[in-house]
Amino acid sequence: MTAMVDRPQMAPEEFEELARIVANTFEGMRVELINGKLKAKPVPDGDHGRIVQWLTRICIQARPELWVHDQGLKVETYRGGRARPDGVLAASDAFVGHAEWAPADAVLMVVEITSYDSDTDRRDRREKPRAYAETNIPVYLLIDRDTLEVKVYSEPDGSQYGESVVVPFGEQVTLPAPVAITLDTELLKEWVR
């Protein structure tokens, strides 16, 4: 009997070429390679964009040396994944000289904001935390518009996050080191359906 081998759908280099074609052909569509599988992300809505603005402003005020980047990242060392988080907190010049898919070693935090689609549970709540923890990204911030909660994952061990904090919209949450920024999440209530 032959054992089933779990292989990625495509090599990272093939994915990067496909991602370039998709970006040049379908405006606003984003693709990722997570858990060895090709994933498509929906076009963000206006409320989603406003949340990114809100977070960017807070981060710049608290830590002017940082920026919330729109940057593709190389994740999942085993599978050679590629993720495009909704935000990547890193030094302002962290990705200078890098192409569309940069190494994640300079990343302090990744941010995902749930979309109103059927894939958000698997993608944002299960696959992405695992991929980011495997890549040892220190903090994963999930702004969950379905549950009206902010979820902060930290202390990655190379396969999962060891710590998580969940607060409802309207409460304050302090993002752990190396981010060390406190968010007042009251305004998030305004940007949900």
Q: Does residue 9 belong to any structural domain of this protein?
A: no
Rounded to whole angstroms, the Cα distance separating 17 from 21 reads 6
Percent of residues, the chain, with pLDDT higher than 90: 61
The tally of domains found in the chain comes to 1
Task: Return the CATH number at 105.
Answer: 3.90.1570.10
In a domain, 19, yes or no: no
20 domain residue, yes or no? no
Residue 5 has pLDDT above 50, yes or no: no
> Is the residue at 5 inside a domain?
no
pLDDT digits (tens, 9 = 90+) for 104-142: 999 999 999 988 766 666 777 888 899 999 999 999 999
- What DSSP letter does each residue of the chain carry, written as one string? -PPP----SS-HHHHHHHHHHHHHHSTT-EEEEETTEEEEEPPP-HHHHHHHHHHHHHHHHH-TTEEEE--EEEE-TTTTEEE--SEEEEETTTTTT--SEEESTT-SEEEEE--SSTTHIIIIIIIHHHHHHHTT-SEEEEEETTTTEEEEEEEE-SSSEEEEEEEETTSEEEETTTT-EEEEGGGGGGG--
| Domain membership flag for residue 108 | yes
| pLDDT higher than 90, residue 161 | yes
Contacts of 90 (CB under 8 A, 6+ apart): 66, 67, 69, 71, 106, 107, 108
What integer pLDDT is reported at residue 8 of this predicted model? 57
Predicted TM-score (pTM) of this structure:
0.82
Give me the domain span that covers residue 175. Answer: 44-191
Please tell me the predicted confidence (pLDDT) of residue 7.
Answer: 55
Report the C-alpha gap between 49 and 51 in whole angstroms.
5
In a domain, 30, yes or no: no
Assess if residue 28 is contained within a domain.
no
pLDDT digits (tens, 9 = 90+) for 76-97: 765 678 888 999 999 999 999 9
pLDDT at 3: 47
Whether the pLDDT of residue 175 is over 80: the answer is: yes
Residue 146 lies in a domain: yes
Higher-scoring residue by pLDDT: 30, 163: 163
